[in-house]
Amino acid sequence: MKRIWIVAPFADIDIVGVRDRFQYLANRLNIEGMEVILFTNDFSHMKKQHIDIQVSKEYPYRVEIIHEAGYKKNVSMKRIISHIEFACNIKKLIKRMPKPDVIYSAYPTMSAAHAVGRYARKNKIPFIIDIQDTWPESISSAIDTEKLLVKLLMWPFTKLANRIYKMADGVIGVSKTYAERANVKGTRCKVFIPVYIGAELEKFDAVLSKEEKINKNEQDIWVTYIGTLSHSYDIDTAIKAFAQLKKCKNIKLNILGTGPDDIRLIKLARELGVYDKNVYFYGFIKYEKMIHILKKSDIALNAIRGSAKQTITNKLSDYVSSGLPILNSCQEKEVLDLINNKEIGINYVPEDINSLRDSILKMISCKETMKKYSRNSRLLAEKCFDRKVSYNAIVDLVKEISAKDNQSCEV
């Protein structure tokens, strides 16, 4: 029996059966007959609180929950220290454990991926990284990277990122853009495979078969955003655009999610006179209810700032699984091309109130076009976002690499 370690600090382990990518993968590999150990932390990034480690007993595979201090702000020194503590603790733990046949690590965090990558090289164990975000590049959406001092401070992190990428025997990325970022000079890796975060369409559709009372006026048009309310996501523009649409009382914005900016955004909506009138904040809600609200919606909003580096996100997966036309402001070429080439929605200019307002009005002006976007969106989900199919590429890579007598050398 092959033994695989999955290292994933942000695995949302406190919610059993959640749609998390690494929980799904751990379960899938366990079913495939592998001995799986999932290493994760005891701090919830979303809730900013520590979890009950007894939840590990509820999983069909082994879960090792590792301590880290935690933090209150996503961009902070405390977060860096917390992640380093996690990496140090996992290094101590794995030294005492029987060696695996393959190590599969999320990236970020950089510190944990580097720690287990070095362990893999030293012990000649195949090492696969799964790129969820391109640190440190994604930091550019939160700080002014045009300043020379900031560039100099980021340079060591860029070197560390490249060092981690060079350790990998295999690379998976949540988008083609992310996977190709790891193709650095001196890499030992031959495969860079994009596998979208995706959704379990069978479970997604099963949720819809259960009755959920979501009241909606037949004349209303719902534009819905789901996800984190933070610096990377352009919710300010959406609220301001809906302030200009106040006279169109049937066009409404639903904001599902929470984050560091939620209080400020609610204040903005109140000041503009749209709070609970045509802009509604739901806060954190259960995944099942979110699906029902999405299916009641008419348009999905992929509101991302122009400087942000996100590509194919969780929210995009849920949008296409719901078969929704998409209004998109992400400027990454991979996403822009997906919207245009697959004809699933309209790209608008980020941080441009008029562009978003006009795009909303343009989309709802033609019901047939909206139906076309909707059909294409769902077809795309079935072809490229259904985990039952798309994650075969990950399983196959793990099996292939773990079967090889990999003569790795220490980096």
pLDDT in tens, 240-266: 999 999 999 899 999 999 988 999 999
CATH code for the structural domain at 206-384 = 3.40.50.2000
Q: pLDDT tens for residues 38-51?
A: 999 999 988 899 99
Locate CATH 3.40.50.2000 in the chain: 3-198+387-403, 206-384
Is the bond preceding residue 187 a cis peptide, omega within 30 degrees?
A: no
Specify the pLDDT at position 73: 86
The pLDDT of residue 408 is 43
pLDDT digits (tens, 9 = 90+) for 139-184: 655 554 455 565 677 778 889 999 999 999 999 999 999 999 999 9
CA distance 90 to 47: 22
Is the pLDDT reported for residue 373 higher than 80? yes
| Mean pLDDT of the residues in the chain | 92
- Distance, in Å, from the CA atom of 136 to the CA atom of 115, rounded to the nearest integer, reads 17
* C-alpha dihedral (341, 346, 347, 349), degrees to nearest 10: 160
Please report the pLDDT score of residue 409 as a whole number.
38
In whole angstroms, give the CA distance from residue 348 to residue 282.
Answer: 25
CA 138, 141, 147, 153 dihedral sign is negative
Supply the CATH classification number for the domain 3-198+387-403.
3.40.50.2000
Here the tokens at position 364 are: 């709802």
pLDDT confidence band for 410 (50 / 70 / 90): very low
Query: What integer pLDDT is reported at residue 411 of this predicted model?
Result: 39
Q: How many CA atoms lie within 13 A of 110 on its CB side?
A: 17
Percent of the chain whose pLDDT exceeds 90: 79
What's the burial of 352, exposed, middle or buried (CB within 10 Å: 0-12/13-18/19+)?
middle
Can you state the percent helix, strand and coil of the chain, rounding each to 5? 45, 15, 40
pLDDT of res. 15: 84
| pLDDT, tens digit, 9 for 90 and up, residues 386-400 | 999 999 999 999 999
Q: Which residue has better confidence, 411 or 72?
A: 72
Distances from the Cα of 349 to the Cα of 143, 253, 354, 370, 372, angstroms: 21, 18, 9, 20, 22
pLDDT tens for 206-244 read 887 776 778 899 999 999 999 999 888 999 999 999 999
Question: Which residues, including other chains, have CB under 8 Å from residue 367's CB and lie 6 or more apart?
Answer: none
Q: Please give the pLDDT value at position 260.
A: 87
- In the chain, % of residues over pLDDT 70: 94
Evaluate if residue 406 carries a pLDDT over 50. Answer: no
Nearest by Cα to 43 from 9, 20, 80 = 9
- pLDDT of 183: 96
> Using one digit for the tens of pLDDT, what is the confidence trace for 103-137?
999 999 999 999 999 999 999 999 999 999 998 87
Q: What is the pLDDT of residue 143?
A: 53
The predicted structure's pLDDT at residue 155: 79
User: Locate tokens 């029987």: which residue?
Assistant: 98
What pLDDT, on the 0 to 100 scale, is given for residue 139?
64
Q: What's the confidence (pLDDT) of residue 213?
A: 79
Q: What is the mean pLDDT of residues 300-320?
A: 93
- Which residues are CB-contacts of 77 (< 8 A; sequence separation ≥ 6)? none
pLDDT of residue 154: 73
